[in-house]
């Protein structure tokens, strides 16, 4: 049963190119499947989340992180009476626009683009992927996703001002996105905060003592788990704590969002859209726990000396290849050379680099930039 404020697939604003209804899948299910079968989705398997494979094959990559976000999002959506099919499609597509090397690669691309008066934004790049780059269908370019999925790609994690982004006017920038889109960014943070603690601990870049002293909610659960399971191996205790942290975050997001919807007297999708603020949110207490956890990860993991060399390499490789192709566009693949006749060369080079996997960009760097 869908809540009154959920998105109903039968009320979808539809696709750019009308298509007949599928006999046994609704439009949001078809969008989910189109994302899963996209080449850009498959490439997520070889894109860094936090750790490269230098550390271990067990750690999350961009694809496994995406799958975890989808699982968490479906749970939240179901508990809130939201459209689970739409939420799943949005979760699976939310990181489609990320370049190689994680956030270091994104920073390097944006820096290169700003030298040409442009910018790189992974949400906007994801929209370009599903609108234009994916070529799977004879009748149209892109994936021809529904309006609601395209809107969610743009609006799930930030607000784009209509004056600064007039090209996005069709996506109702003056309105909040549906709750299905609002919860994606929160589920994303829940997923990577807990997963990065797990991977950081297993990589031995985060010590148990440091985590216990730096994250109070972890310490509280540690005391509970130590009493309940005093004789199990330390890693199993750690897993139990991460599970409890995850449950606390998800449960709080569900209950607090319910309370916020009720307090705002919201009953319809349109009322969600016209609300003065987003309604999906953690409670103040748990939001502070999330903030502390994220701050700990930034200070002790993301900017740790152990990962600094890889971040530096990412910036060098992206910057060098960008400069090379700006100087010698004739060495770009033929289809990108054609695009360069229609769009700024910097945008075309950016698009090419952003689509690469970690290992492919290394190959290109060795081919074109190393002596």
Output the tens digit of pLDDT for each of the chain's 371 residues.
Answer: 899 999 999 999 999 999 999 999 999 999 999 999 999 999 999 998 886 655 566 788 999 999 999 999 999 999 999 999 999 999 999 999 999 998 899 999 999 999 999 999 999 999 999 999 999 999 999 999 999 999 999 999 999 999 999 999 999 999 999 999 999 999 999 999 999 999 999 989 999 999 999 999 999 999 999 999 999 999 999 999 999 999 999 999 999 999 999 999 999 999 999 999 999 999 999 999 999 999 999 999 998 888 888 889 999 999 999 999 999 999 999 999 999 989 999 999 999 999 999 999 999 999 999 86
Q: Do 226 and 358 belong together in one domain?
A: no
Residue 161: inside a domain, yes or no? yes
Residue that is last in its domain, among 282, 308, 334 = 308
Give yes or no: residues 352 and 210 share one domain.
no
Determine, yes or no, domain membership for 4.
no
Residues 342, 214 share a domain? no
Burial class of 366 by CB neighbour count within 10 A (0 to 12, 13 to 18, 19+): exposed
Q: Is residue 358 in a domain?
A: yes
Please indicate, yes or no, whether residues 297 and 347 belong to a single structural domain of this protein: no
Residue 137 lies in a domain: yes
User: Which CATH number fits the domain that encloses residue 127?
Assistant: 1.10.3210.10
Q: Is residue 3 part of a domain?
A: no
Q: Where would I find the H helices in the chain? A: 27-36, 39-43, 62-80, 84-93, 102-114, 122-128, 147-155, 179-202, 208-214, 216-228, 234-263, 269-273, 284-297, 305-327, 334-340, 345-354, 358-368
| Contact between residue 325 and residue 367 where contact means Cβ atoms under 8 Å apart | no
Contact call for residues 151 and 174 (beta carbons, < 8 A):
no
Residues 31 and 146 in one domain: yes
Question: Considering the domain boundaries, does residue 2 fall inside one?
Answer: no
Q: Which domain holds residue 336?
A: 310-368
298 in a domain, yes or no?
yes
pLDDT at 49: 81
Pick the last residue of a domain from 308, 329, 357: 308
Residues 112, 259, single domain; the answer is yes
Query: Is 1 inside a domain boundary?
Result: no
- Clarify whether residues 268 and 314 are in a common domain: no
176 and 79 in a common domain: yes
Task: Tell me, yes or no, whether 348 and 221 share the same domain.
Answer: no
Say yes or no: 296 and 320 in one domain.
Answer: no
* CA proximity to 215, closest of 203, 200, 232, 228: 200
Residue 53: the pLDDT is 55
* Rounded Cα gap, residues 319 and 313, in angstroms: 10
Shared domain for 276 and 315, answered yes or no, is no
Select from 308, 325, 347 the last residue of a domain: 308
Same domain membership, residue 346 and residue 197: no
Number of domain units in the chain: 2
């Amino acid at each position: 049963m869908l809540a009154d404020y959920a998105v109903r697939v039968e009320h979808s604003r539809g696709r750019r190119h009308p298509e007949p209804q599928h006999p046994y899948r609704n439009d949001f299910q078809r969008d989910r499947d189109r994302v899963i079968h996209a080449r850009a989705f498959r490439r997520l398997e070889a894109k860094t989340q936090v750790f490269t494979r230098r550390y271990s094959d067990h750690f999350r990559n961009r694809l496994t992180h995406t799958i975890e976000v989808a699982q968490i999002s479906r749970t939240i959506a179901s508990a809130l009476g939201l459209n689970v099919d739409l939420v799943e499609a949005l979760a699976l597509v939310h990181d489609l626009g990320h370049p190689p090397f994680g956030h270091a690669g994104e920073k390097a691309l944006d820096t290169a683009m700003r030298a040409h008066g442009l910018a790189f934004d992974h949400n906007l790049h994801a929209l370009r992927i599903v609108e234009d780059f994916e070529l799977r269908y004879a009748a149209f370019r892109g994936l021809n996703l529904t309006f609601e999925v395209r809107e969610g790609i743009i609006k799930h994690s930030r607000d784009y001002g209509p004056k600064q982004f007039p090209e996005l006017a069709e996506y109702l920038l003056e309105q909040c996105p549906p709750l299905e889109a609002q919860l994606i960014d929160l589920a994303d943070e829940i997923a990577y905060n807990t997963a990065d603690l797990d991977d950081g601990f297993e990589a031995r870049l985060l010590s148990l003592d440091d985590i216990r002293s730096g994250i109070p909610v972890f310490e509280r659960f540690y005391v509970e788990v130590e009493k309940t399971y005093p004789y199990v191996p330390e890693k199993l205790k750690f897993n139990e704590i991460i599970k409890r942290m995850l449950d606390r975050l998800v449960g709080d997001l569900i209950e607090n969002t319910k309370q916020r919807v009720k307090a705002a007297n919201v009953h319809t999708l349109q009322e969600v859209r016209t609300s003065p603020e987003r309604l999906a949110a953690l409670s103040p207490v748990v939001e502070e726990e999330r903030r502390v956890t994220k701050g700990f990860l930034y200070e002790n993991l993301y900017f740790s000396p152990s990962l600094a060399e890889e971040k530096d390499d990412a910036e060098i490789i992206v910057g060098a290849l960008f400069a090379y192709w700006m100087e010698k566009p004739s060495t770009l693949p033929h289809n990108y050379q054609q695009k360069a006749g229609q769009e700024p060369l910097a945008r075309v080079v950016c698009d090419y680099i952003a689509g690469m996997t970690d290992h492919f960009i290394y190959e290109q760097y060795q081919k074109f930039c190393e002596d």
